[in-house]
Amino acid sequence: MNPVRKQRLIIILGVVVGLAVATGLLLFALKQNINLFYTPQQVASGEAPVGSYMRVGGLVVAGSVKRDPNTLDVTFDLTDGKGTFSVHYRGILPDLFREGQGIVANGQLMAANRFEAAEVLAKHDETYMPPEVQDALEKAGHPGANAEKSAQ
Amino acid sequence: MWQTLTRWYHQWGSPRYFFQYSGVLLPWLWPLAVLTLVVGVVWGLAFAPADYQQGNSYRIIFIHVPAASAALLGYIAMGVAGLVGLVWRMKMADIMIKAIAPFGAVLAAIALITGAIWGKPTWGTYWVWDARLTSMLLMLFLYLGVFALMNAIPDPRQAGRAASLLSVVGVINVVIVKYSVEWWQSLHQGSTLKVVGESAMPSEMLAPLLISMLGIYLFFACTVLMRARTEIMVRERKSQWLREVLR
């Protein structure tokens, strides 16, 4: 390779590698701010400050959803297998909100085990399948991708 | 092998060769692109089975995923062209960047808009500032930035150098977009398509998705070749060979 080009190549690759490392360090330092939500484990371990506004994410515990028959109030438990706390919400839940489904709630942590949600978003996973496949899985005794469908 | 590659590289790096052979390629590439795109999208939107959880709203995947992946690949191609332009000072590299940027921006915008439309019924919101959505928005701005640099600086050589640098540096963001859903907790789900291992999708949904992806790549390639040909005609308007070819 021509020495002038070689030098230019080294300079440019050096600039790109340097910027990549700088970006990587920056993103690593801001990790907590880039994560969209706190996990139940982080709430349980006290990493999430009580009283502050934040987002939490986790799975809705099967059988924990309690709806008030007269109002839009709903309470449910949120877990990630390592921590659990209860969430209270007043409003209309998204279509994909189901027991066992992942959700992200935006609101205030009132106590270490109680979260007051102002907004509830459903988190979708990357699995897609036709309804017949899901039915067949359930018939065969397999819990399928979400057994909680029948719980509704 | 290496010699064939370098010869091929230098041939396609010359505007004259590029103009001639892209003209041969395009009449074949266009029908192929339109065919695969129509087959993939119609199959996906009308004939693929509905999803067990989302019903029919999941069908936006047949537009959203091809557009997003083509936007990412287009940026990588632009970054490679930028590197070639900066190191080898090849004329064609600048022309390629100018050809890729506008359509890449359109694809990034399509991915963002379709994602928002799907997000409302599925997540319950059009937009959330999570890592994937934010880095994709940044990619749209990078595309627009390259496009703006190319057109804002009157001297084509200086414009090419500035746009090349932004193209090369912006490739870092491609990596961030790709791995944002793995590195951070985000609302956006992980990739359904997996390069290694089995995709989280049955074949009757996967086949139309892969065909529409191929379709959009070919369509992207066709538009880039055509834009590059137009740009060659503008830049080489005084050269003898172009007059001979066009006569």
Determine the pLDDT at residue B191: 84
Q: Are B199 and B192 in contact (CB under 8 A)?
A: yes
Measured CA to CA, the distance from residue A44 to residue A115 in angstroms comes to: 12
Angle in degrees, 0-180, between the axes of helices B2-12 and B15-42, rounded to the nearest 10: 100
Determine the pLDDT at residue B174: 95
Instruction: Kindly state whether residue A9 falls inside one of the protein's structural domains.
Output: no
Q: In what helix (H) or strand (E) does residue A132 lie, and over which residues does it extend?
A: helix A131-139
Instruction: Kindly state whether residue A127 falls inside one of the protein's structural domains.
Output: no
Instruction: Kindly state whether residue A22 falls inside one of the protein's structural domains.
Output: no
Determine the pLDDT at residue B107: 96
Determine the pLDDT at residue A143: 54
Quote the number of domains for chain A.
1
User: Is A19–B172 a contact, with Cβ atoms under 8 angstroms apart?
Assistant: yes
The DSSP secondary-structure symbol of B55 reads B
What DSSP string describes B194-241?
Answer: -SSS--SS-HHHHHHHHHHHHHHHHHHHHHHHHHHHHHHHHHTTT-HH
Instruction: Kindly state whether residue A43 falls inside one of the protein's structural domains.
Output: yes
Tell me the nearest-neighbour CA distance from A25 into chain B, angstroms. Answer: 13
Mean pLDDT over the full length of chain A = 82
Pick the residue from chain A with its C-alpha nearest to B130: A36
Q: Are A148 and A99 in contact (CB under 8 A)?
A: yes
Instruction: Kindly state whether residue A94 falls inside one of the protein's structural domains.
Output: yes
| Three-state secondary structure call for residue B128 | coil
Pick the residue from chain A with its C-alpha nearest to B128: A36
Average pLDDT over residues B150-170: 93
Average pLDDT over residues A122-131: 80
CATH number at residue A41: 2.40.50.140
Q: Are B131 and B184 in contact (CB under 8 A)?
A: yes
Determine the pLDDT at residue A149: 39
Instruction: Kindly state whether residue A98 falls inside one of the protein's structural domains.
Output: yes
Measured CA to CA, the distance from residue B96 to residue B82 in angstroms comes to: 9
Given the structure tokens 């892209």, which residue do they identify?
Answer: B22
Tell me the nearest-neighbour CA distance from B25 into chain A, angstroms. Answer: 31
Q: Which region among B133-137, B159-163, B207-211, B239-243 has the lowest average model confidence (pLDDT)?
A: B239-243
User: Is B54–A96 a contact, with Cβ atoms under 8 angstroms apart?
Assistant: yes
Determine the pLDDT at residue A142: 61
User: Is B186–A133 a contact, with Cβ atoms under 8 angstroms apart?
Assistant: no
Q: Which region among A35-49, A60-74, B74-88, B103-117 has the lowest average model confidence (pLDDT)?
A: A35-49
User: Is B205–A128 a contact, with Cβ atoms under 8 angstroms apart?
Assistant: yes
Q: Are A64 and A77 in contact (CB under 8 A)?
A: yes
Residue A20 CA from chain centroid, whole number: 27
Instruction: Kindly state whether residue A16 falls inside one of the protein's structural domains.
Output: no
Instruction: Kindly state whether residue A137 falls inside one of the protein's structural domains.
Output: no
Q: Are B22 and B225 in contact (CB under 8 A)?
A: yes
Residue A141 pLDDT grade (very low, low, confident, very high; cuts 50, 70, 90): low
Residue A126 CA from chain centroid, whole number: 13
pLDDT tens, position by position, B193-243: 877 777 778 888 899 999 999 999 999 999 999 999 999 999 998 989 888
Which residue of A8, A27, A130 is in closest CB contact with B50? A130
Domain containing A106 equals: 34-122
Average pLDDT over residues B122-134: 89
Q: Which region among B123-127, B135-139, B161-165 has the lowest average model confidence (pLDDT)?
A: B123-127
Residue type, B59: R
Residue B244 has pLDDT above 80, yes or no: yes
Looking at the predicted complex, does its ipTM rise above 0.90?
no
pLDDT tens, position by position, A41-58: 888 888 888 888 888 888
pLDDT over 90, % of chain B: 65
Residue B132 has pLDDT above 80, yes or no: yes
Secondary structure E strands in chain B: none
Pick the residue from chain A with its C-alpha nearest to B58: A128
Average pLDDT over residues A19-37: 85
Q: Are B40 and B212 in contact (CB under 8 A)?
A: yes
Tell me the nearest-neighbour CA distance from B30 into chain A, angstroms. Answer: 32
Which A residues in the span 49-68 are in contact with B, Cβ-Cβ below 8 Å?
57
What the block records as the tokens of A149 is 């469908």
Q: What is the pTM of this model?
A: 0.87
Pick the residue from chain B with its C-alpha nearest to A23: B172
Secondary structure E strands in A19-122: 53-60, 66-67, 73-79, 84-90, 102-111, 114-122
User: Is B51–A128 a contact, with Cβ atoms under 8 angstroms apart?
Assistant: yes
Determine the pLDDT at residue A145: 47
Measured CA to CA, the distance from residue B120 to residue B108 in angstroms comes to: 19
Q: How many of the other CB atoms lie within 10 Å of CB of B209?
A: 22
